[in-house]
Amino acid sequence: MSNYQKEIERRRTFAIISHPDAGKTTLTEKFLLYGGAIQLAGSVKGKKTARHAVSDWMEIEKQRGISVTSSVMQFNYNGFCINILDTPGHQDFSEDTYRTLMAADSAVMVIDAAKGVEPQTRKLFKVCVMRNIPIFTFINKMDRESRNPFDLMEQIEQELGIQTYPVNWPIGCGKEFKGVFDRGKREIIKFTSDGLANGVRQVEKEKLELDDPRLAELIGPALHETLVDDIELLDGASYEFDMEKVQSGRLSPVFFGSALTNFGVEPFLEEFLWMTPPPLARESSEGRIDPFSPDFSAFVFKIQANMNKAHRDRIAFMRICSGAFDKGMEVLHVQGGKKIKLAQPQQLMAQEREIIEKAYAGDIIGVFDPGIFSIGDTLCAPGRKFTFGGIPTFAPEHFCRVRQLDSLKRKQFVKGTTQIAQEGAIQIFHEPLTGMEEVIVGVVGTLQFEVFEYRLKNEYNVDIRMEGLPYQYIRWIENEEVDPKKLDLSSDTKVVQDFRDRYLLLFTDEWNIRWATDRNPGLILSEFGRV
């Protein structure tokens, strides 16, 4: 096998998904710790003396203790090159998560052991199922009082409609959480804490055979008895392990642990890397694109402005789908119809970055964007011309009229609003024949308004006034020949344009949508925007 193939084979690219506060960012941080990427792990809600999580790099994330944007991190562990995509759990930022899942080959679903499956977990899980990617479950927070593990397994199976296979099994919970039983190796992994560096540094562990005479003494007679009973029940009643089912997303391997204390993190990482696939083939307008194909191809799934305050730059994140990438190589930007040189390719550790010379299929790289890329764009070798499947944009559900307070800052206002909109978190509209002095901003969740206002103030030095609007529904006008001014619409329906100058209609309720379609024969309205 050539070096090129070996490099692709050892790539693992996965997204971490969960309901808010299940411990997703903390788990990401511990992966980096075990991968040697960081020496001390940070926390999401960092105390004054503590470090913040590497993946939460925006100031607003550190203040609130939540992730508002996906971040990308790469590190090496046991011969694997791992690309982690940490996603926001909060539903107001779910659109960013959906797009990020398009770039992943598998997903790790983090579940709070006390709460079980929560609403946002169900939503994100459905996206993973649509893509048929492997889904691994990490039941977190075993260091706290938790639900019965059997109940948790049953809930995952019933609510998500996926079979489960516990790869390991917890011994106790809360203060009594002693370790896990590895079902494949039939051994106990007992964790030991020194009580001081717990959670910040790697944890001590001891491996014991199931018939070790010291076991009952080390974990206590009651936990030992429960463990023996649980193992017997598992061996008789759980699903068989089937790698084919795992790879197609029909069986989820389940692991138990505590990301906060590091108990169970390393066993999970080791097993997970063995089970998860190398880069997968992608569907395109020319059929499936094999990752081992020598021709370079990639798609843009995220754009982030102002990661570097000193330069006010824009980074386009792209997932390499096939071939290898060399610094300064020439590629075809399919949507722009031009050949371009990819300048300053970067590998990322959230906000930290380094210029790279080479990257392979499966890697996530960031390239400098002079304003030519959009989410969903395809890049390929100059001799080819195909596009990868589009990334869905969700119709906003909340709308605000936004204007700048200082008319002298119009330039900054237009730049800030446009750049944040191009990232895909918000959508901006304006009324026909009006400029950008005031815009209508549409978002999926209302918390996005706060982030938008915060970023305009802190990154572009623009103060704004926001006024809520009563609209709940938006529809794109598909017929290009239609003159919106001649449409017969109800009085509380508004005609607007997006930043690509396509016409849309804003409605306050469904009755107004029916009015528009009934009174205007031949009018075609679409719920989704084309990326």
Give the per-residue SS3 of 127-153: HHHHHCCCEEEEEECCCCCCCCHHHHH
> Are 78 and 270 within 8 A, CB to CB?
yes
Q: Which residue has the tokens 């869905």?
A: 392
| Helical (H) or strand (E) element with 506 | strand 503-507
Q: Considering the domain boundaries, does residue 192 fall inside one? A: yes
What CATH number corresponds to the domain at position 152?
A: 3.40.50.300
My answer on whether 403 and 462 are in the same domain is: yes
In tens, the pLDDT along 508-529 reads 998 999 999 999 998 988 876 5
Output the pLDDT for position 90: 40
Output the pLDDT for position 407: 84
Output the pLDDT for position 44: 40
Output the pLDDT for position 447: 73
Query: Cα dihedral sign for 45, 50, 54, 58?
Result: positive
Q: Considering the domain boundaries, does residue 417 fall inside one? A: yes
What CATH number corresponds to the domain at position 345?
A: 2.40.30.10
Residue 304's pLDDT band (cuts 50, 70, 90): confident
Higher pLDDT among residues 216 and 333, named by residue: 333
Residue 93's pLDDT band (cuts 50, 70, 90): very low
What is the spatial distance between Cα 298 and Cα 349, in angstroms, rounded to a whole number?
20
3-state DSSP call for residue 362? Answer: coil
List, in sequence order, every residue forming a beta bridge with 72; answer none if it has no partner: 85
Q: Considering the domain boundaries, does residue 391 fall inside one? A: no
Output the pLDDT for position 18: 78
* Strands annotated E in 116-258: 135-140, 163-166, 168-171, 179-182, 187-192, 204-209, 251-256
Given 257, 275, 293, which residue is the final one in a domain? 275
Q: Considering the domain boundaries, does residue 311 fall inside one? A: yes
Q: What's the token pair of residue 403?
A: 């204007």
Output the pLDDT for position 481: 85
Q: Considering the domain boundaries, does residue 302 fall inside one? A: yes
Q: Pick from 92, 93, 47: which is nearest to 71 by CA? A: 93
Output the pLDDT for position 528: 60
Q: Check pLDDT > 80 for residue 454.
A: yes
Using alpha carbons only, give the angle 465, 468, 469 rounded to the nearest 5 degrees.
Answer: 130
Higher pLDDT among residues 56 and 331, named by residue: 331
My answer on whether 263 and 348 are in the same domain is: no
My answer on whether 233 and 308 are in the same domain is: no
Instruction: Please provide the average confidence, as pLDDT, over all residues in the chain.
Output: 80
Per-residue pLDDT, averaged over 90-97, amounts to 52
Query: Cα dihedral sign for 165, 170, 174, 179?
Result: negative
Q: What is the CA radius of gyration of the chain?
A: 25
My answer on whether 374 and 405 are in the same domain is: no
What is the spatial distance between Cα 383 and Cα 27, in angstroms, rounded to a whole number?
42
The count of other CB atoms within 10 Å of the CB of residue 309 is: 11
My answer on whether 254 and 293 are in the same domain is: no
Q: Considering the domain boundaries, does residue 170 fall inside one? A: yes
Total number of residues shown for the chain: 531
My answer on whether 374 and 496 are in the same domain is: no
Residue 54's pLDDT band (cuts 50, 70, 90): very low
Residue 344's pLDDT band (cuts 50, 70, 90): low
Ranking 220-229, 371-380, 442-451 by mean pLDDT, the lowest is 442-451
Domain, as residue range, for 159: 13-69+87-275
> Are 393 and 502 within 8 A, CB to CB?
no
Predicted TM-score of the model (pTM): 0.73
3-state DSSP call for residue 225? Answer: helix
DSSP-assigned letter for residue 370: S
Output the pLDDT for position 253: 95
Residue 531's pLDDT band (cuts 50, 70, 90): very low
Residue 42's pLDDT band (cuts 50, 70, 90): very low
Per-residue pLDDT, averaged over 75-94, amounts to 70
Q: Considering the domain boundaries, does residue 78 fall inside one? A: no
Q: Check pLDDT > 80 for residue 65.
A: no
My answer on whether 408 and 265 are in the same domain is: no
Higher pLDDT among residues 491 and 349, named by residue: 491
What is the spatial distance between Cα 515 and Cα 124, in angstroms, rounded to a whole number?
34
Higher pLDDT among residues 31 and 64, named by residue: 31
My answer on whether 268 and 165 are in the same domain is: yes
Angle between helices 265-275 and 24-34 (to 10 degrees): 80
In tens, the pLDDT along 217-240 reads 788 888 888 888 988 888 887 788
Q: Considering the domain boundaries, does residue 480 fall inside one? A: yes
Higher pLDDT among residues 470 and 91, named by residue: 470
My answer on whether 181 and 101 are in the same domain is: yes
> Are 526 and 478 within 8 A, CB to CB?
yes
Burial class (CB in 10 A: 0-12, 13-18, 19+), 439: buried
My answer on whether 257 and 293 are in the same domain is: no
What CATH number corresponds to the domain at position 430?
A: 3.30.70.3280
In tens, the pLDDT along 248-267 reads 889 999 999 888 888 888 88
When divided into structural domains, the chain yields a total of 3
Higher pLDDT among residues 458 and 299, named by residue: 299
In tens, the pLDDT along 391-427 reads 666 677 889 999 998 888 889 998 888 877 777 767 8
Residue 91's pLDDT band (cuts 50, 70, 90): very low
Question: CA 433 → CA 331, 436, 437, 501, distances in Å?
Answer: 38, 10, 12, 11
Burial class (CB in 10 A: 0-12, 13-18, 19+), 73: buried
Output the pLDDT for position 143: 87
My answer on whether 26 and 137 are in the same domain is: yes
Per-residue pLDDT, averaged over 455-470, amounts to 89
Output the pLDDT for position 312: 56
Which residues lie below 8 Å from residue 321, measured CB to CB, with a gap of 6+? 279, 282, 289, 291, 297, 298, 299, 361, 388
My answer on whether 152 and 252 are in the same domain is: yes
3-state DSSP call for residue 42? Answer: coil
Output the pLDDT for position 195: 52
Given 275, 310, 338, which residue is the final one in a domain? 275
Higher pLDDT among residues 40 and 78, named by residue: 78
Percent of the chain with pLDDT over 90: 22
Output the pLDDT for position 310: 53
What is the spatial distance between Cα 245 and Cα 132, in angstroms, rounded to a whole number?
10
Output the pLDDT for position 150: 93
* Strands annotated E in 309-357: 314-322, 324-326, 330-333, 338-341, 346-349, 352-355
Residue 16's pLDDT band (cuts 50, 70, 90): confident
